[in-house]
């Protein structure tokens, strides 16, 4: 059973208020009595907010084999810089060269047949006026010539295809790049579609982050942003794009920030901190941080027990970054609400109460 399913099987009875065997929260006003509680408060701070993002490459290429054979040699290795058009890998070409020779021979035969068919048609056409050749014979000669022309075109296409297959035995860099991954070794057999190498351009990177939908409009109005890379460098974003639609599941909006040209370039896949100006309204509201012990975590889902007139109400949260023994709450709680300091203790009490209710039934 998945973490998500176990989580909802655990918390679903707490979220329902129907009658029957499920406990009615309105009948348990003293359920939270004696539980340690904390009041949700906003931590005042600057208007800038930091969000976790990941460095991505703008232009990459996953090179795959376009013909079959054995890898004869790999000319590059990981972290190596390559130029556009530079040979990267060679595949054995015995079959491809044989196919090219056969296609060339077929083209020569087709050209000879076409020449003979054209001469035959010209002779029949010259004799047609004198009555020595019937109309049917002339039509047959014309059809033979047309068929020979079609066969020559087909033979020429097969020759071009054979040349392409031979060219595919040597793989070249599509642009100036850095070798990111090397996926085959000499001697391995490959078929069309087998991954060979992964490359990325070393001069174009971006960072993507997700914001709550309520923050996205503020970012649209003020696109100033700073990115702090994993190596400690802080750089201003060269451009910022707010995606037009929110995710239907998380209700978050994706933000894409282009990085300027950097030397040395950042490493793809590393984390980055993005500082966005979220406006005076966000600054006045501040950030909500609660103790880590107040968060009930089940897989990717987070929740907290809100204490309301002695009742324990489970509330799903969207959480942000951790800091020490606290965690930021992006949505799900309001300033002034009271929550259980120890979510695990609240869950045990709630489960014990439900077991007692079931026993009385």
Domain harbouring 237, CATH code = 2.40.30.170
pLDDT of residue 354: 78
By the 8 A CB rule, do 273 and 257 touch? no
Q: How far is CA 60 from CA 89, 174, 177, 203, 242, in A?
A: 18, 10, 8, 11, 22
Residues 212 and 248 in one domain: yes
Residues 116 and 168 in one domain: yes
pLDDT of residue 20: 36
By the 8 A CB rule, do 146 and 67 touch? no
Residues 262 and 165 in one domain: no
Q: How far apart are CA 252 and CA 121, in angstroms?
A: 74
Among residues 284, 309, 325, which one ends one of the domains? 284
140 half-sphere exposure, CB direction, 13 A CA radius: 5
Domain harbouring 114, CATH code = 2.40.50.100
By the 8 A CB rule, do 117 and 201 touch? no
What phi and psi values does residue 51 have, to the nearest 5 degrees? Answer: -130, 145
pLDDT of residue 78: 94
Q: What is the pTM of this model?
A: 0.58
Residues 34 and 66 in one domain: no
Regions of the chain where pLDDT drops below 50:
1-5, 7-9, 11-27, 46-47, 280-285
Residues 131 and 97 in one domain: yes
pLDDT digits (tens, 9 = 90+) for 32-50: 777 888 899 877 654 456 7
Residue spans of beta strands (DSSP E) within 160-238: 170-172, 177-182, 189-190, 195-200, 205-212, 225-228, 234-236
Residues 66 and 194 in one domain: yes
pLDDT of residue 45: 53
Residues 75 and 193 in one domain: yes
pLDDT digits (tens, 9 = 90+) for 144-154: 999 999 999 99
Among residues 284, 312, 328, which one ends one of the domains? 284
pLDDT of residue 83: 96
Residues 242 and 324 in one domain: no
pLDDT of residue 16: 39
pLDDT digits (tens, 9 = 90+) for 108-129: 999 999 999 999 999 998 888 7
pLDDT of residue 221: 75
By the 8 A CB rule, do 304 and 340 touch? yes
Domain that holds residue 36: 3-43+287-360
Domain harbouring 37, CATH code = 2.40.420.20
Residues 71 and 193 in one domain: yes
pLDDT of residue 312: 87
Residues 185 and 310 in one domain: no
**What interhelical angle do 343-360 and 3-15 show, nearest 10?**
60
Residues 23 and 11 in one domain: yes
Residues 317 and 276 in one domain: no
Among residues 235, 262, 284, which one ends one of the domains? 284
pLDDT of residue 18: 34
Give the helix/strand (H/E) hosting 327: strand 326-331
Counted domains in the chain: 3
């Amino acid at each position: 059973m998945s973490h998500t399913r176990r989580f909802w099987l655990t918390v679903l009875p707490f979220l329902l208020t129907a009658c029957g065997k499920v406990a009615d929260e309105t009948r348990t006003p003293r359920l939270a009595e004696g539980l340690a509680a904390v009041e949700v408060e906003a931590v005042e701070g600057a208007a800038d907010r930091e969000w976790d993002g990941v460095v991505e490459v703008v232009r990459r290429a996953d090179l795959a084999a376009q013909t079959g054979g054995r890898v004869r040699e790999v000319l590059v290795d990981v972290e190596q810089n390559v130029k556009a058009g530079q040979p990267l890998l060679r595949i054995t070409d015995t079959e491809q060269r044989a196919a090219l020779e056969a296609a060339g021979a077929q083209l020569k035969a087709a050209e000879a047949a076409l020449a003979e068919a054209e001469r035959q048609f010209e002779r029949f056409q010259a004799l047609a006026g004198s009555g020595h050749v019937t109309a049917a014979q002339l039509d047959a000669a014309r059809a033979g010539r047309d068929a020979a022309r079609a066969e020559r075109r087909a033979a020429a296409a097969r020759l071009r295809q054979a040349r392409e297959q031979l060219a595919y035995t040597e793989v070249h860099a599509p642009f100036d790049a850095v070798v990111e991954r090397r996926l085959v070794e000499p001697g391995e057999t490959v078929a069309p579609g087998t991954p060979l190498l992964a490359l990325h351009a070393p001069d174009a990177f971006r960072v993507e982050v997700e914001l709550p939908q309520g923050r996205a409009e503020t970012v649209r109005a003020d696109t100033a942003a700073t990115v702090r890379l994993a190596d400690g460098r802080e750089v201003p974003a060269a451009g910022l794009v707010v995606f037009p639609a929110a995710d239907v599941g998380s209700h978050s909006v994706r933000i894409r920030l282009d990085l300027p040209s950097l030397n040395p370039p950042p490493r793809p896949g590393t984390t980055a901190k993005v500082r966005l100006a979220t406006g005076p309204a966000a600054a006045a509201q501040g950030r909500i941080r609660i103790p880590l012990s107040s968060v009930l975590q089940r897989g990717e889902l987070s929740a907290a027990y809100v204490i309301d007139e002695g009742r324990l109400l489970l509330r799903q949260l969207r959480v942000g970054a951790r800091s020490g023994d606290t965690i930021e709450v992006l949505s799900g709680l309001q300033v002034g609400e009271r929550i259980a300091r120890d979510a695990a203790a609240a869950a045990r009490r709630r489960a014990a109460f439900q077991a007692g209710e079931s026993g009385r039934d």
